[in-house]
Structure 1
Amino acid sequence: MSLPLMPKATAVWLVENTSLTFEQIADFCGMHALEIQAIADGEVAIGITGLNPIAKSQLTPEEIQRCEADPDTRLKLRPAESHLTRARKGARYTPVSKRNDRPDGIAWLLKNHPEISDAQICKLMGTTRPTIQAIRDKSHWNSANIKPRNPVTLGLCSEADLEKALAVSQPRSSSIFLVRASEASALSQPAAPADTGHYGRTEPQDAHSEAESLFRRPASPAPAESGTETDPDDSADF
């Protein structure tokens, strides 16, 4: 059975905004009825913002009303083909009411998915590179009030668009890992020894050393050895 996007957040919204039974919500979200009851009692999913399945085209108001009227019926998820959107061209338009939430969504992407490139974030969130950099280095004018929040929950992008961006970023994250691993391996290797000539003699490494070897004064020749040694007493006779 197909489940809605973000089942727990959807369950929170259904508990707060409908009169459906715990069993109906549990069946639709793929959860246990006791877990739905714990959500209603405030013991589970504390702090999770509800996700409206109507806004995500996963349910219709008529479907909810039908199941509210008969506790024995079960909610039916709308077919995926009915809520697929056309691929848009150009920058994404963000409604004015949601533009204040956009920095929170960007901060969430930077924190939880650093492998996504700035170009992908610009396309996904309808923002600019300077804004992304300002949020990254905390120089944004409203940095003190920015809290990382899921852009899907905020309605800034769809789950399908986010998954597509993550799929595109996987090869990039793998290549970055390989480059960093090769750099770390190169740094861990010992430095190569100096070039040596025959018999392990170190060759000159600079021009100064080479010049000294070329213009070094030759050693004075040793005196020729005579056939007989001169006695000191004999030389004294002269």
Structure 2
Amino acid sequence: MIHVTDELELYSLGALAPSDAARVTAHLSECPACREQARAIDEVVQELPETLPGREAPGRLRDRILASARAELATVRASRRDMAWTARLLRPALVLAAGLWLAVGAAALVNENLSLSNELKVVASDRATYESIVEGIRQGGRWWYMAGKDGWTGSGGTLIAPRAEGRPPFVVFHDLRPLPQGQLYTVWLVSSDNTWVRGATFRPDGKDVQAVDVTAAIAGFDSCAVTIEDSAWGRRAGPVVMESKIVPPAP
């Protein structure tokens, strides 16, 4: 019997073609192992909050964050079955998704030249980063999706202003292209009178998903964009590679 493990995530998200979805459904009716894994994936998907009506891109991005995390934990579980204590570090409601995300750090550090203590430090850092992203998404709030354009088609980022008091806005980027040395991605907040205010400047870290905090207040702005700049300060000078649609300004 050929299992459908690699297709279960897309199946749970409804992203398979009808013929492929029918094939997976038929397999699940006969395979208890795949059926149990599909059930676990569905539980994680149910943890996702509802997105704002009509703004599908943030919802797909949120799904991708958790789907990426799920795929990565499978590697850690296969190679480190003796590290069962890892699960006890995680919140029960997100034990599967959070554990999967830890593989980003753990898998990269598994080699003979690094000590276990160094591995644990990186794992803990990645866990904290992932849980921070998920918590911000779960809180709900305002969303601006910036779609990539021209050579950055396929890249994108969602600026999220969490509803919870005291939680700063942040952007979750996906598929960021690498930049030449000395160049920076810059997030801009744009007002209706075309005033551009720098919200964040950063370098891509090479991961599929990257979160970046926004340091400027979003009140009064009704769109956002990303440019490529040569400096971390000053006026906008570089090309726009991502931009959002105009929405009512934040109060």
TM-score (norm 2): 0.23
The structure having more radius of gyration, on CA atoms, is 1
TM-score by length of 1: 0.24
Richer in strand (by share):
2
